[in-house]
Structure 1
Amino acid sequence: MADQRTGPAPRNRSETVYWTLRNEITDGVLRPNAPLVEDEIAVRLGVSRTPVRESLHRLAADGLIDSHRRRWLVHEHTRDEIVQIYEVRAGLESHAARLAALRATDPQRAEIEGWRRRMTDTDPTVLSERANTNDLFHDAISGAGGNPRLLAEIRANRLFHFNRRIAALYSDADLDTSSRQHAELITVVCAGDADRAADIAREHVEFSLQLILRKLF
């Protein structure tokens, strides 16, 4: 089954391979400039080379891998590329949070509230786990907006985002800020405050971008 954080249930082997590799890249498991060898991937995932080849071409179209001297390498995003990705995210996730505040059902609000403990803990030991659950939390909010196309765009734009590599950069103060923003986002979405939900979602994305730029470049 494909990772529910970023993609739909796979329809075939090519889809499974694509989402497996995509998640490994965006999660930081496959690091920038890491080589991707068709035969090795096929053996590791238990498939033929055909779905691997198809998946690699899709990943190249996404801008996640590059062809270099007849080899596939994981793409290393430039500063400008990361800024552009996060600027798009800020717009998409801000509007999604606004819609969630306006449209969320009672069960959806209960689900969002259920994330509070995990997403507001300021103990540094939570960072590794948060890297695994962060997308699920934000998808719960974006999905509550009732616009599947918007949610699909948000997922498709996760080309560079919070993952294990980024989590390692967080200081105690950074974690405190992120957790506080999560707490307020949960509160305002569940309270139906659309304007504040949009603002805090945008501020959260912008905070993440500034942290990345400060610590990676």
Structure 2
Amino acid sequence: MPTAQELPAEPMHATRTLSDNVYRWLREQIVLGKIGPNEPLVEAMIAEKLQVSRTPIRESLQRLAADGLIVSHRRRWIVRQHDRDEIIAIYEVRMALESFAARFACRRATDAELDAIAAHCDSWTGTGGNDEFVTFNDRFHHLIVEAAHNPRLARVIEQNQLYFFNNQVAEHYLPAEVAASQAEHESLVEALRERDPDRAADLSRRHAEDALDLILHRLF
């Protein structure tokens, strides 16, 4: 486990506190599945391994609890295990939020932003592995959310993506599933280019719905 000097994986920011960095690192470990569901998060052990005091650990755990990533169980924190109904509820929220983001992007995105979205979509060659596709997919949707020009909406969408099962399933996509997902990306780019908010919103909703179907099929 890295030391405090290595937190987080991304470059340190001048205005970011130690608590922010600890939080971001712990969040990443949970989202990537390196700390799995129902595993305990013990303040003393984390503080010792990260070579930081308990205060930033305690603050980080409170933030992770607010994110819905950990829960209190028998007077200790554990990584939350989401059941089928919870996952469905999370994805129903994503369908609504991401369809609105696509709709707003059609109306508010600059031509340069649409060019960037299209260029990123075209950059996928189909030869990368699933890890590369996960990174590519995250960036694609992030660009659309940014183009919606609604920071509050962006924050809520980001929070609804911070779950282990999202990466767990995406990392095991079959080649045909990757191809189908990319075809949906290309259709969404076309709708954005045409400034068609209804079609873009519908495509975005169905894209999230298809992801939910895969998650339910694989996990349950």
TM-score range, shorter chain: 0.7 to 0.9
Q: 1:113 and 2:106 equivalent?
A: no
CA displacement at 1:44 relative to structure 2? 4.1
The DSSP-based 3-state class of the residue aligned with 2:72 is strand
The DSSP-based 3-state class of the residue aligned with 1:115 is helix
1:104 counterpart residue number: 109
The DSSP-based 3-state class of the residue aligned with 2:77 is strand
Q: 1:169 and 2:172 equivalent?
A: yes
1:149 counterpart residue number: 152
Return the TM-score normalized by structure 1: 0.87
- Aligned sequence identity (%): 48
**The structure with more radius of gyration:** 2
Unpaired runs of 5+ residues, structure 1, are none
Unpaired runs of 5+ residues, structure 2, are 1-6
The DSSP-based 3-state class of the residue aligned with 2:52 is coil
The DSSP-based 3-state class of the residue aligned with 1:186 is helix
Distance of aligned partners of 1:193 and 1:115 in 2 relative to their CA distance in 1, 3 Å threshold:
same
The DSSP-based 3-state class of the residue aligned with 2:149 is coil
Amino acid at match of 1:105: T
Return the TM-score normalized by structure 2: 0.86
For residues 81 and 212 of structure 1, the distance between their equivalents in structure 2, rounded to whole angstroms, comes to 12
User: Which residue, out of 33, 42, 50, partners 2:47?
Assistant: 42
For residues 186 and 161 of structure 1, the distance between their equivalents in structure 2, rounded to whole angstroms, comes to 27
CA displacement at 1:162 relative to structure 2? 6.5
Amino acid at match of 1:51: P
Answer whether contact 2:40 2:79 (CA < 8 A) is retained.
yes
CA displacement at 1:27 relative to structure 2? 2.7
Distance of aligned partners of 1:126 and 1:135 in 2 relative to their CA distance in 1, 3 Å threshold:
same
Q: 1:73 and 2:78 equivalent?
A: yes
Q: 1:11 and 2:16 equivalent?
A: yes
User: How big is each residue's C-alpha offset from its partner over 1:86-116, in whole Å with a ceiling of 9 and x where there is no partner?
Assistant: 0000000001001111111122112111211
CA displacement at 1:147 relative to structure 2? 1.1
The DSSP-based 3-state class of the residue aligned with 2:179 is helix
CA displacement at 1:187 relative to structure 2? 2.0
User: How big is each residue's C-alpha offset from its partner over 1:109-129, in whole Å with a ceiling of 9 and x where there is no partner?
Assistant: 12111211345x444x43111
Answer whether contact 1:97 1:145 (CA < 8 A) is retained.
yes
